[in-house]
Amino acid sequence: MMNIRKAGITALIVFTFVAILHVIDYNFTGVFPADLLMITRWITVAAFVWYAIAKKSLTTWILVSMLVGGELGHDWPAIAVNFQVLSKVFLQLIKTIIAPLLFATLVVGIAGHSDIKQVGRMGWKSLVYFEIVTTIALFIGLAAINISQAGVGVPQPPVGHEELPATKPQNWQDIILHIFPENIAKSIYHGEILPIVVFSVIFGIALLMVKDKMRQPMLDFCGSLSETMFKFTNIVMYFAPVGVGAAIAYTVGHGGLDVLGNLFKLLITLYAALAVFVLVVFVPVALIIGLPIKRFIKEISEPVSIAFATTSSESALPKAMEAMERMGVPRKIIAFVMPTGYSFNLDGSTLYLALASVFVAQAAGTPLTWPQQILMVFTLMLTSKGVAGVPRATLVIILGTVASFHLPVWPVFLILGIDELMDMARTSVNVIGNCLATAVIGKWEGEVDFKNLPPETKA
């Protein structure tokens, strides 16, 4: 597995290459034959494919597939947009894993040891950590958009945009009701992680309370199911480069290389804000708990690259759980903290929510006062807890916030143009944040020694 620095360099090469394609089209079309330019680009792509073959790394293949997908989307957009079905196949296979994996690992994690007090301790420690970190993320997003003023001067777009899902503002009763499953089969069907987590936790506690002879058969079943689902994940991951490449091909083919347009400033604002957040929050936290940063970066590079390319936190969940287990964090802690974090600790998404909501107000020409922005932050502190780890889920929250503050809806449609590119960054930060959270709780519980880690696995 390549480390995150190499992954970042490769990803940077991908976007630089796409930018160069854009420049070539505008400046060299007519100077050189179009066929010659296309052949040159594909020779470059072939060189990257050859590198991936020699590297024999899934992470490398995923990143190179992004390059291939970008080139396909650029040269044959009409064909590339049809590749979306392949990315959807990959995401659906991943979503199939989520519910049984969460149920099995949580039940084993809770009922597999007879310390119910530890479950309570992990619960309140996790929630305290999640709330502190996500609140900081909201305020960083708020500061970034007020500094860049990215929404000021944005022209109103023409009529006709992608249809957004209908939504309504959520009150605190709705948020509380959403936590508890009405029907576990319904929650599994809709991919609602938090109700699945609540059901699994209660089931695990109930199993912990029964006699040993009644508990052990279910524990054995859940243990076997957990191991099987991890193997299932390994099989699905062989399809990851195809799914990722198809997703990028669709994005470029659908939006074109000038997808940024007038929203480039918003994109840069988000990326800069997320970088600041990582530097001022994640790095100090990692240093405080004594986490070996280089080893941590190497282990999480694969799930982060998957999240970056697919814009889905859920797609990276199984691999993220395996990565943190290799970091020495006990599975019972990973099984409790990480799924819970997928509802309460989506740091990148919460930062984006604050940034995008103020952008809507700026674009609409109705800037919010600081008291209104602070009120918006506290509103988002509640509504963001229901954000699912799937693409564009944050847009539903934005619409609810916009309605709460009586702002027009049309600026939200503008964000759709570059939402995929923004989703890549914020989803990657979500995965990093939840991986770090498991390390924090593991250290806080005194169950992990980062000075005595298991040996590294070969890429």
CATH number for the domain spanning 277: value is 1.10.3860.10
* Dist. CA 436–CA 65, nearest whole Å: 27
In a domain, 451, yes or no: no
> Cα dist. 121→124, 182, 330, 375 in Å?
6, 26, 15, 31
In a domain, 454, yes or no: no
* Dist. CA 430–CA 434, nearest whole Å: 6
pLDDT at 396: 59
- For tokens 């914020």, what's the residue? 426
* Dist. CA 396–CA 387, nearest whole Å: 9
**Burial degree of 223 (CB within 10 A; 0-12, 13-18, 19+):** middle
Q: Give the range among 53-57, 181-185, 338-342 with minimum mean pLDDT.
A: 53-57
Read off the pLDDT band of 84 (50, 70, 90): confident
Structure confidence by residue, pLDDT tens digits, 32-42? 566 666 777 77
pLDDT at 5: 46
pLDDT at 271: 93
Has residue 423 got a pLDDT over 60? yes
In a domain, 159, yes or no: yes
DSSP 278: I
8 Å CB contact between 363 and 338: no
For residue 38, give the nearest of 77, 75, 70 by alpha carbon: 75
For residue 346, give the nearest of 268, 266, 436 by alpha carbon: 436
In a domain, 60, yes or no: yes
* Dist. CA 194–CA 183, nearest whole Å: 13
8 Å CB contact between 61 and 241: yes
- Which amino acid, residue 128? V
- For tokens 């964090």, what's the residue? 329
8 Å CB contact between 291 and 450: yes
In a domain, 209, yes or no: yes
For the entire predicted model, the pTM comes to 0.65
Work out the number of other CB atoms within 10 angstroms of the CB of residue 211: 7
Structure confidence by residue, pLDDT tens digits, 111-168? 765 556 666 777 788 888 988 998 899 899 999 999 988 877 765 544 444 444 454 5
8 Å CB contact between 248 and 129: no
In a domain, 453, yes or no: no
Three-state SS at 163: coil
In a domain, 93, yes or no: yes
In a domain, 452, yes or no: no
Domain count, the chain: 1
Has residue 107 got a pLDDT over 60? yes
Which domain, by its residues, includes 372? 4-444
DSSP 113: S
> Two tokens at 173?
């009763």
